[in-house]
Amino acid sequence: IATIEDEAEYQDTKYACQRRTPLKHHNKIFTDALEVLEKNADYTGGDQDYSRALAFRRASASLKSLPHTVTSMRDVANLKDIGKHCKDVIREILEKGYSTEIEDIKSSEWFKTIQLFVGIYGCGPATARKWYNMGYRTLEDIKKSTTIHLTADQRNGIRFYDDLQTPVIRREAEAIRNFIIEEIKEISNDFTVVITGGFIRGKDSGHDVDLLMSHPDNGKEKGVLQKLITNLKQKNLLLECSLQANTFHKESLKSPKHYKSSMLDHFEKSLSIFRLEKSMVDKYTSCGGASKTTEKVQGGKSCSSNTKSDDYILKHTDSFDLPKDRTWRAVRVDFVVCPQSQYGYALLGWVGSKMFNRSIRLYADRELGMMLSSHGLYDRINQQYIPASSEQEIFEHLKLTWIEHEDRNC
Ligand code: DCP
Ligand code: MG
């Protein structure tokens, strides 16, 4: 039951980052419908569709933070960010329990096929549409095609399709984190490894595991990820991985281009597919899972510098089939390394959600003339960088009330 304070808080806000958006909210039937409209616009892909997708997402975020259930159109009259199209959908759901438009979209061959194809790791809406227009409708069609040239990501995306479509559960994420902590002890002491993304916002499952890694001494984080990846490859634990170097320059914080081109950040990172042995889940979740390694390194392992990143990527001639009696599953894991001086900003960015980030960045820009990214904050008016050692400090700089991680699910 919503309190007067909850209602007042909702009424007071213009941006999603100013209000609490819990995971479990009161209007799922409506937000599920709006998410179909958002996906549909996103799959369609034009500039206008991008704006439409965003509008549906904003409407959905508004309903998610509403402290009560919408039961009549009167409840919707003064809601934030709900346009005519959304209102029509809500009205129909209120009257009939479903929306004809949403049901039509969900059952259309086009939508179902694009949804199937964008589920392939490495395949975005543009590629999915291209394949659809070439007449392909199933994964089998894609596998058999002799005209499509699949990228390495897409070949693995198809090979591990079922695994990667199966949500990663919290226990699996924790096992991977704890295992990685053990592995890093071989390379560097005092490293911290934190699970971010959906799990830190309280979700029980997600599409991947996002690990933010750092060292308390600024600069000492350098080189560790490369060694970690080399070691994991030697142990045959990576089915695929890319290693991206850090490309951040402080000056770029001032450049509007930095904010436009990079919803994603410039940290050193590896977007990988991890081979999770099922036995690992029990082994690495029973130990309690400290989030910090403190033991001293007993002689770090050597790292060969000529490791190719495509060691485990399928060759074009390899089969898509996996062994039937597997003892492992494939899990998408993002490893991200940030220097301590940017940790608060990096954490804020990797906690998300994507919509929360969009909202807080827009708020900083429009309301305060400040540019916020996962690397820092730049005050355009006073022309200075604003350092922060924690997320709390960033909220203070932005004159925002603190929002807990589990209330950033917009
Ligand atoms: N992120 C972002 N913009 C992107 C990608 C990511 O701001 N284009 C940030 C916000 C996300 C976080 O990184 O919350 C992690 O990205 P994920 O795509 O893994 O999103 P989630 O972890 O929130 O969802 P899921 O539970 O499905 O993994
Ligand atoms: Mg995630």
In which band, very low, low, confident or very high, does the pLDDT at 282 lie, cut at 50, 70 and 90? very high
Q: Is 38 in the pocket of ligand 1 (CB under 6 A)?
A: no
> Is 158 inside a domain boundary?
no
Min mean pLDDT across 36-40, 68-72, 139-143, 291-295 is at: 291-295
In which band, very low, low, confident or very high, does the pLDDT at 257 lie, cut at 50, 70 and 90? confident
Min mean pLDDT across 72-81, 288-297, 400-409 is at: 288-297
Q: Is 67 in the pocket of ligand 1 (CB under 6 A)?
A: no
pLDDT the model gives residue 26: 96
Torsions phi, psi of 408, nearest 5? -110, 30
For ligand 1, the distance from its centroid to the CA atom of residue 273, given in whole angstroms, is: 16
pLDDT the model gives residue 104: 98
Does residue 235 sit in the same domain as residue 253? yes
Q: Is 21 in the pocket of ligand 1 (CB under 6 A)?
A: no
Which are the contacts of 366, defined by CB distance < 8 A and separation ≥ 6?
none
Give me 125's structure tokens. Answer: 């809406």
Q: Under the phi-then-psi rule, with left for phi > 0, alpha for psi from -120 to 50, and beta for the rest, what region is 356?
A: alpha
Helices (H) and strands (E) in the chain, counts: 19, 10
Indicate whether 272 pLDDT > 80.
Answer: yes
Does residue 171 sit in the same domain as residue 234? yes
For ligand 1, the distance from its centroid to the CA atom of residue 210, given in whole angstroms, is: 8
- What's the sign of the alpha-carbon dihedral 22, 393, 355, 161? negative
For 18-71, the DSSP string reads GS-B-SS-S-HHHHHHHHHHHHHHHHH-SHHHHHHHHHHHHHHHHHHH-SS---
Of 81, 78, 95, 76, the residue nearest 38 (C-alpha): 81
For 80-105, the DSSP string reads TT--HHHHHHHHHHHHHSS-HHHHHH
**pLDDT tens, position by position, 344-393:** 999 999 999 999 999 999 999 999 999 999 999 999 999 999 999 999 99
- As a whole number, mean pLDDT of residues 82-111 equals 98
Q: Residue 172 is which amino acid?
A: E
CATH code of the domain covering residue 245: 3.30.460.10
Q: Is 265 in the pocket of ligand 1 (CB under 6 A)?
A: no
Q: Is 408 in the pocket of ligand 1 (CB under 6 A)?
A: no
What's the mean per-residue pLDDT of the chain? Answer: 90
Does residue 368 sit in the same domain as residue 326? no
pLDDT the model gives residue 206: 98
pLDDT the model gives residue 261: 56
* Domains: count for the chain: 4
> Is 35 inside a domain boundary?
yes
Does residue 271 sit in the same domain as residue 244? yes
CB 43 within 8 A of CB 52: no
Min mean pLDDT across 21-30, 143-152, 237-246, 308-317 is at: 308-317
Radius of gyration of the chain (CA): 23
pLDDT the model gives residue 312: 45
Q: 384 vs 254, 354, 368, CA distance in Å?
A: 9, 26, 13
- Of residues 7 and 373, more confidently modeled: 373
- What's the sign of the alpha-carbon dihedral 65, 71, 73, 77? negative
Quote the domain boundaries for residue 76.
4-105
Min mean pLDDT across 33-42, 67-76, 101-110, 261-270 is at: 261-270
pLDDT the model gives residue 317: 57
**pLDDT tens, position by position, 322-351:** 988 899 999 999 999 999 999 999 999 999
Residues taking part in catalysis = 208, 210, 334
Indicate whether 296 pLDDT > 60.
Answer: no
CATH code of the domain covering residue 132: 1.10.150.20
In which band, very low, low, confident or very high, does the pLDDT at 260 lie, cut at 50, 70 and 90? low
Q: What is the largest CA-CA distance in the chain?
A: 69
Does residue 177 sit in the same domain as residue 115? no
Does residue 311 sit in the same domain as residue 256? yes
Indicate whether 209 pLDDT > 50.
Answer: yes
Strands 328-337 and 238-244: unpaired
Indicate whether 191 pLDDT > 70.
Answer: yes
Of 230, 331, 312, 231, the residue nearest 273 (C-alpha): 331
Indicate whether 291 pLDDT > 80.
Answer: no
Does residue 40 sit in the same domain as residue 134? no
Indicate whether 119 pLDDT > 90.
Answer: yes
Does residue 400 sit in the same domain as residue 366? yes
For ligand 1, the distance from its centroid to the CA atom of residue 357, given in whole angstroms, is: 10
Does residue 17 sit in the same domain as residue 82? yes
> Is 216 inside a domain boundary?
yes
In which band, very low, low, confident or very high, does the pLDDT at 279 lie, cut at 50, 70 and 90? very high
For ligand 1, the distance from its centroid to the CA atom of residue 77, given in whole angstroms, is: 32
Q: Residue 390 is which amino acid?
A: S
Does residue 200 sit in the same domain as residue 301? yes
Does residue 305 sit in the same domain as residue 381? no
pLDDT the model gives residue 289: 42
Indicate whether 258 pLDDT > 60.
Answer: yes
The answer to whether the complex's ipTM is over 0.95 is: yes
Strands 209-214 and 328-337: parallel
Q: Helix or strand or coil: residue 292?
A: strand
> Is 362 inside a domain boundary?
yes
Query: Which ligand does the CA of 373 lie closest to?
Result: 1
pLDDT the model gives residue 290: 42
> Is 373 inside a domain boundary?
yes
Give CA–CA dist 102/92, Å, rounded: 10
- Of residues 318 and 132, more confidently modeled: 132
Give CA–CA dist 41/58, Å, rounded: 14
Does residue 117 sit in the same domain as residue 131? yes
- Supply the DSSP symbol for 186: T
